[in-house]
Structure 1
Amino acid sequence: MKDHMTVSESEYTDADFQKVRQIAREKAGIHLPATKKALVYSRVSRRVRELDLGSFQAYLSFVTSPAGEDEMQNLIFALTTNVTSFFREKSHFDHLESIVVPQMISRVRAGKRGRIWSAACSTGPEPWSIAMSVMTAFPDAATHDFRILATDINAHVVARATEGVYGAEDVEGIPTAWKAQFMERTPSGDYRFTGPIRRLPAFRVLNLNASWPIQGSFSAIFCRNVVIYFDDSTREHLWQRLADKLDPGGFLYVGHSERVSCANQCGLTQVAPTIYRKDH
């Protein structure tokens, strides 16, 4: 087997970093401050080695060529990867289960739509956690027009999320009773979501900073640990677009280190440190 070529940090120039910054901004609205230069080297040099391209210059030439279209997704994902887990920031799911879904039930049973959006679903723990919370509060949700839109910019993680298969260590945060209710063991020992719950999530590839081919509005939107990658103007523009997609009285959940700075202008009221309600 051929050894991967090494990439020396001394060969990583300011021009390379500026080029990555430009790509990140143009393709995904990601803002990379100067302090991220070392992080970019750490993340992107792995991709350079994987492709045996030998230098950042060669990699960046490839990724911006027609042949590098798929690799562009890998580059963006390398720059944005963060931790995801089932029921991360559990207070959001408690609020969803006890407040939001009960308010939706009578409306949905009367034949109206019920919609929740996981706006940066990564490999799927967030939307599947939402689905378990929904099914617990509304056991027959899957027999009605109730859906969870789950989107991410990266097609590879969306494909994995759609499969709904996770290793034993990945599902440690799921209560044992819920694993028994909503999952089955695979021959390899993994856990797979099964039964009616699979009808709830709809997985799609979506760039939050591009156009949204989304019809209708949502009773709740989860957009957590995403805006940390954006500059102030991009962040405020996204908050406004998300607020516009909420039903009156709907809720926006953000990450523990995030704050909707334009809440008043966006028509949102903060009801908990990381939960906002759209004003009627």
Structure 2
Amino acid sequence: MKATHPTDVAVITEGDFLKFREYFYRKTGIHFDESKRYFVDKRLVERIETTGAADFRTYFMALRFDRGSDELQHLVNAMTVNETYFFREAYQFDCMVHNMLDECVKRKPSGDRVRIWSVPSSTGEEPYSIAIYLLERWPGIDFHDVEIFSSDIDTAVLAAAQRGAYSARSVANLPAAYLEKYFAKRKDGTYAISRDLVSAVDFSRVNLTDPADCRRFRDIDIIFCRNLLIYFDDVSRRLAAEHMFESLRPGGFLCLGHSESMSRISSLFSARRFPDALVYQKPVSGDKK
């Protein structure tokens, strides 16, 4: 049997794939290796067909030189994978309310807000999980104002996060009491999150490898950046780490995914092992690393 391509309308050659991969990397910091070839080809062909381009060459020329087009953002949305659910890797949220937050507020001037940044946002499960944890499990919420920021390079998932509608699978890890308190079940079986929680999160589009995008995030106390750096190569990982380091307040914390390790990326951070989790900390001036 002859192997089939995702479609017969357009064919992505090896040369096309390499050109596109290099371009997409420069624009986003995301690197696609050969194992992602079928995925990339399929999404590229879908965008070629949607835009009505005759072939890859025509599409790619328009993508690179048509500055007024939104096609690059549509392509980014198509190429990014967003798979998450509420209370994912919850041991880090436990660490946040048991250890990290109390340590952060001890260093802060009286009345200064706690600032937490979740990146990537995906469809909102992580920042909303953070908000629920703060409301339900951190006694300090009664004494400190908190700002929650959440960012993603994909505008489609940011829009979905702000709509706040979730499948039964997405909310499966939530305690029944939280589900009843913060969600309304719809007739179609989805769950709509409280609009108060939606308004508690500041969503924005950010490319973590772009210094201009990251500049607005300063004096952050805790960053959750989980399962994003695995899509970057070494250069982009170091760049993202540097931007997060600059965004953190001295003594602030960074949480990575369970398969990620900052020790292989950058020496800027110090590892801190708490009872619930291993996290990374921006040293305070004078602290030994």
Could you say which TM-score interval applies, normalised by the shorter chain?
0.7 to 0.9
- Once the 2 structures are TM-superposed, how far is the Cα of residue 62 of structure 1 from its aligned partner? 3.9
1:256 aligned residue: 258
SS in 2 for 1:266: coil
Q: In structure 2, do the counterparts of structure 1 residues 183 and 140 end up closer, same or farther at CA, with 3 Å as the change threshold?
A: farther
SS in 2 for 1:115: strand
1:226 lines up with 2:228 in the alignment: yes
Whole-Å separation in 2 of the counterparts to 1:191 and 1:39:
30
1:279 lines up with 2:272 in the alignment: no
SS in 2 for 1:8: coil
How many residue pairs match? The answer is 275
Whole-Å separation in 2 of the counterparts to 1:52 and 1:129:
41
1:79 aligned residue: 79
SS in 2 for 1:127: helix
Q: In structure 2, do the counterparts of structure 1 residues 215 and 181 end up closer, same or farther at CA, with 3 Å as the change threshold?
A: same
Structure 2 unaligned segments of length 5 or more: list them.
1-5, 285-289
Q: In structure 2, do the counterparts of structure 1 residues 179 and 142 end up closer, same or farther at CA, with 3 Å as the change threshold?
A: farther
SS in 2 for 1:38: helix
Whole-Å separation in 2 of the counterparts to 1:43 and 1:253:
31
> What TM-score comes out, normalization by structure 1 length?
0.84
22-31 vs 242-251, greater mean Cα deviation: 242-251
- Once the 2 structures are TM-superposed, how far is the Cα of residue 87 of structure 1 from its aligned partner? 1.6
Whole-Å separation in 2 of the counterparts to 1:196 and 1:35:
42
Output the amino acid matched with 2:280: Y
C-alpha contact 1:30 1:230 (8 A) present in aligned 2? yes
What's the CA shift string for 1:64-114, capped at 9, x where partnerless? Answer: 353883231232233331422212212111211222234456788942111
SS in 2 for 1:269: strand
Q: Please report the RMSD computed on the Cα atoms of aligned residues, expressed in angstroms.
A: 3.0
SS in 2 for 1:174: coil
What's the CA shift string for 1:199-231, capped at 9, x where partnerless? Answer: 421101111111123153112101111112222
Whole-Å separation in 1 of the counterparts to 2:59 and 2:172:
38
1:162 aligned residue: 162
Whole-Å separation in 2 of the counterparts to 1:163 and 1:142:
28
C-alpha contact 1:73 1:155 (8 A) present in aligned 2? yes
SS in 2 for 1:177: helix
50-59 vs 14-23, greater mean Cα deviation: 50-59
Q: In structure 2, do the counterparts of structure 1 residues 209 and 108 end up closer, same or farther at CA, with 3 Å as the change threshold?
A: same
| Seq. identity, % | 32
C-alpha contact 2:85 2:169 (8 A) present in aligned 1? no
2:244 aligned residue: 242
SS in 2 for 1:64: helix
SS in 2 for 1:279: coil
